[in-house]
Amino acid sequence: MAAPHHSQQLQPAAPQQAGIAGAADGKPLQCSPQHQSNPSQYISVSPLFLQFDGPKEATAELTIKALAPYNYRLAWRVLVTSPTRYLVSPSTGFLMPNQQVKVTVTLPDVKKYHKRHRFLVQAIVCPDALNNRREVWKEIGDGVGRITEIQCIRVATHRGGLPATSPSTPTGEQAPITDGRSTPTTSQTGVVQDEPLVTHMAPPDPVVDEALNHEVNLFVDRITEALGKKQDAACRMQRSVNEIKLLEVELDRLSAAQISLNVHIKATVQDTAGMALLRGIHHESS
């Protein structure tokens, strides 16, 4: 008697964590020798699994939380395999030490979900001098070897509330298998009986229902019109997203200009105070 075969169930691989040194004493993050090929863990993301629930035609909205747990300023962004089907807000930005950001992920139409959709959160240490989020990632892409400094965290997805699969044939019952040919019947003695003669007649001409055909055409026209409206709405939504991105870039530029203006104002105030002090000394000496 053969030994029973024990099936082995595949288990999900545990996430790898790079060793971090110097995070507590304020020194730059460094990977341990056994993880030199992996970027340091700059950012913490939760959850790592998004489940989109709800009926078809409904809108699903979920949240991804990103935290900068160490004493470093980070530049981060969220990428998605299907950017035209999801709305991610905000999709990029900066994180100060111990700061957390909530990223809203919206799927306008749940039936557009696909099991291969994935999200990717990227983070890298960014100096205080860089304030333009677009330029940060452009510089990283142009730099040689900077790609290895990026930490990437994948966020998987799942569609909840899927209908159950159709029932299969009960165990022990087999459907008849036919090959499309008639099998002659046999008697108990094994003698093959003659097959009855079959008269082949031409099929009747199909009857065309003009009223039904007209209704079908109207239904097709309505579907075509609805698809056109949906495409127009998608184009308007994409234009709105592009305008929001342009506003974010302009906001970064204005923020940098405000910082520079504050520096000039502070210097001017100091110069004015110094000149007033010199005038007072001059009057006293006179």
**CATH, residue 79:** 2.60.40.10
pLDDT for 274 equals 84
Q: Which of 128, 159, 190 is the last residue of a domain?
A: 159
Collapsing DSSP to helix, strand or coil, 282 comes out as helix
As a whole number of angstroms, the longest Cα–Cα distance in the chain is: 146
In this structure, the answer to whether residues 46 and 153 fall within a common structural domain is yes
pLDDT (0 to 100) of residue 244: 92
Instruction: State yes or no: pLDDT of 210 exceeds 90.
Output: no
Query: CA distances (Å), 276 to each of 203, 263, 280, 286, in order?
Result: 111, 20, 6, 15
How far does CA 154 lie from the centroid of its chain? 9
Separation of first and last alpha carbons in the chain: 119
Residues 51, 152, single domain; the answer is yes
Is 131 in the same domain as 215? no
Lowest mean pLDDT among 158-162, 191-195, 220-224: 191-195
Amino acid 254: pLDDT? 92
| Residue 183: per-residue pLDDT | 42
pLDDT digits (tens, 9 = 90+) for 17-72: 333 333 333 333 333 333 333 445 889 999 999 998 877 778 889 999 999 999 98
* Bridge-based pairing state of the strands 74-80 and 87-89: unpaired
- The vertex-258 CA angle with 253 and 259, nearest 5°, equals 100
Structural domain span for residue 239: 211-286
> How far is it, in rounded angstroms, from Cα 82 to Cα 80?
5
- The token pair at 91 is 């999709």
Give the DSSP per-residue string, 215-280. HHHHHHHHHHHHHHHHHHHHHHHHHHHHHHHHHHHHHHHHHHHHHHHHHHHHHHHHHHHHHHHHHH
Same domain, residue pair 40 and 127: yes
Cα torsion 118, 124, 129, 132 to 10°: value is -10
The 10s digit of each residue's pLDDT in 78-88 is: 999 989 999 99
Q: Is residue 69 in a domain? A: yes
Across the range 171-178, mean pLDDT stands at 39
Q: Let me know if 107 is exposed, middle or buried by CB neighbors in 10 A (0-12, 13-18, 19+).
A: buried
Tell whether omega for the bond before 90 is within 30 degrees of 0, i.e. cis: yes
Question: Is residue 26 located within the same domain as residue 155?
Answer: yes
Examine the domain organization and report whether 143 and 219 are in the same domain.
no
pLDDT, mean over the chain: 73
Burial category of 30 from C-beta neighbours within 10 Å (exposed 0-12, middle 13-18, buried 19 and up): middle
* Residue 205 covered by a domain: no
pLDDT given for residue 134 in this prediction: 82
Report yes or no on 5 lying in a domain: no
Q: Which of 159, 180, 195 is the last residue of a domain?
A: 159
Last residue of a domain, one of 159, 175, 198: 159
In this structure, the answer to whether residues 108 and 231 fall within a common structural domain is no
One domain, residues 146 and 61: yes
State percent of the chain over pLDDT 70.
68
Burial class of residue 175, CB neighbours in 10 A (0-12, 13-18, 19+): exposed
Q: Is residue 167, in this structure, part of any structural domain at all?
A: no
182 domain residue, yes or no = no
Of 187 and 137, the structure prediction assigns the larger pLDDT to 137
pLDDT at 100: 95
Instruction: Identify whether 200 is part of a domain.
Output: no
| Domain identity same for 146 and 260 | no
Q: For residue 241, is pLDDT > 80?
A: yes
Residue at 176 is within a domain: no
Q: Total structural domains in the chain?
A: 2
Are residues 25 and 143 both part of a single domain?
A: yes
Greater confidence, 245 or 212?
245
* Average pLDDT, integer, range 205-225: 79
Residues 135 and 231 placed together within one structural domain of the fold: no
User: Does the residue 14 lie in any domain?
Assistant: no
- Tell me the two tokens of residue 278: 């010199």
Report the distance separating Cα 194 and Cα 279, nearest Å.
132
Tell whether 152 and 40 lie within a shared domain: yes
